[in-house]
Amino acid sequence: MKFGSTTVNEAYAVSMMLIELLFILIAYHICTFSKEEKPKKGKLDFLPLNTVTTGLFFLFILIIATNRSFLHKLSFVWDIATYLKLKISGDLENVSPLVSIMFPVMRAYIVLFIFSLINSFKLKQGTKLMLSILVVLINATIIVGISRFSIVYASFPLILLLIYFYPAYRKKVVTYTSVFFGLILMVASLAKFSGNTKNADVGGFFTLHQLNAYFGGVANYAIGYDSYEKNMVNPFDKYYYFISDITQNIPVLSKFSNDNYKTNIKFNNHIYGAGRSRDQIVPVSVAGLYHFSKYFFYIYIFVLTVLAFRFETKAYTANSPVLFFLYIILAFGCSTSMMINIGSLSATLFINLVVFIPFFTMINKLNLAK
């Protein structure tokens, strides 16, 4: 499997994954067998085209357009090579972490506003839907860095919203978008795994090594446990690892993060011998080893699974498309935690729960009051 072939801890890695499944099942039962009354589903409608929503639309466009260093991270899926050249050459400027974290929400809001604008046109429902799908597909061709996951992350909730907005066309929405997204992900993968010196290899991104790397496979768990043992993490260090990992991508709070206590650096250093120049995904339970010990590594997967179910419930009871998007993003992020570093996930949770959800809840109340 390229990496992890020399480990002697594969049995423990498999045990970790089985214990994870057990705690996911426990979380599922806790969330689905609750005696609480099921909340009523919210009524989702398009954004009202008023001064507040229009002002936010232009403000978000302005913020993105004026951050040139961040714009260099954006490219079309068929032109990833340009970004890779800039990254390898070291010509990329430092990007504001705040803009990076805010971008998915600003991007989604811009698309939602365009949905609402299209809905205001005097056109047939089928025509409105096709125009809206076209907007989603154009949005999906823009990739952040080389992260193909950002394509799914940015588009999946929007497709759910289109199903809500146009329930009579549910099958068409699913069919058209599924085919197109399959093609987009294929093009993005070909561009990523092709370079100036080699031809595109379609099979390259379906190898066991790639699947293991992107989806937190058993080899990554074994390597994570190897690195945990090698670094001899004592009980007093766990606090520092926890603080450094959780705060590393959160603006202002990142000053409490220390490179000497970051699991992604230790993990990547164990694989490549270069912790800062590589950034392979660290399974959350490997971070759990460093933070809670080998006896309580499953805490993260349990908590995140509970949160995923809770956020999903909140999404389907929301009465604002923006709040629906935010809660679905949080549910999606928590349920795909094997594909996201704990630092990125904590930043997403922080910025949405502390900033965006309160902000758009207030905006929604203002719109309802009008």
Please answer whether residues 279 and 339 qualify as being in contact, where contact means their C-beta atoms are separated by less than 8 angstroms: no
Render pLDDT for 174-230 as a digit per residue (tens, 0 to 9).
887 777 767 766 665 665 555 544 444 444 555 666 666 666 678 888 888 888 888
**Long-range contacts of residues 178-182, Cβ cutoff 8 Å, at least 24 apart:** 180/137, 180/140, 181/140, 181/151, 181/152, 181/155
Residue 353 DSSP code: I
Tell me the average pLDDT of the chain.
79
101, 133, 170 from 128: Cα distances, Å: 31, 9, 14
Please answer whether residues 312 and 327 qualify as being in contact, where contact means their C-beta atoms are separated by less than 8 angstroms: yes
What residue type is 4 in one-letter code?
G
Neighbours of 153 (CB within 10 A): 20
Q: Is the pLDDT of residue 283 over 80?
A: yes
Q: In this structure, what token pair is assigned to residue 30? A: 């806790």
Please answer whether residues 132 and 89 qualify as being in contact, where contact means their C-beta atoms are separated by less than 8 angstroms: no
60, 109, 318 from 56: Cα distances, Å: 6, 8, 20
Render pLDDT for 44-103 as a digit per residue (tens, 0 to 9).
788 888 898 999 999 999 988 887 777 766 766 666 556 555 555 554 455 566 677 788
- Taking the C-alpha atoms of residue 359 and residue 353, their distance in angstroms, rounded to an integer, is 10
Question: Would the pTM count as exceeding 0.85?
Answer: no
| Helix (H/G/I), strand (E/B), else coil: 341 | coil
- Taking the C-alpha atoms of residue 108 and residue 321, their distance in angstroms, rounded to an integer, is 10
Residues listed for the chain: 370
Render pLDDT for 234-280 as a digit per residue (tens, 0 to 9).
888 888 889 988 988 887 788 888 888 888 888 878 776 655 555 67
User: Where is 112: in which H helix or E strand?
Assistant: helix 97-119
- Taking the C-alpha atoms of residue 309 and residue 180, their distance in angstroms, rounded to an integer, is 28
Per 3-state DSSP, the chain is made up of helix, strand and coil in percentages (nearest 5) of: 70, 0, 25
Query: What is the predicted pLDDT for the residue at 84?
Result: 57
Query: What is the predicted pLDDT for the residue at 44?
Result: 79
Neighbours of 339 (CB within 10 A): 18
- Taking the C-alpha atoms of residue 125 and residue 144, their distance in angstroms, rounded to an integer, is 32
- Taking the C-alpha atoms of residue 298 and residue 181, their distance in angstroms, rounded to an integer, is 33
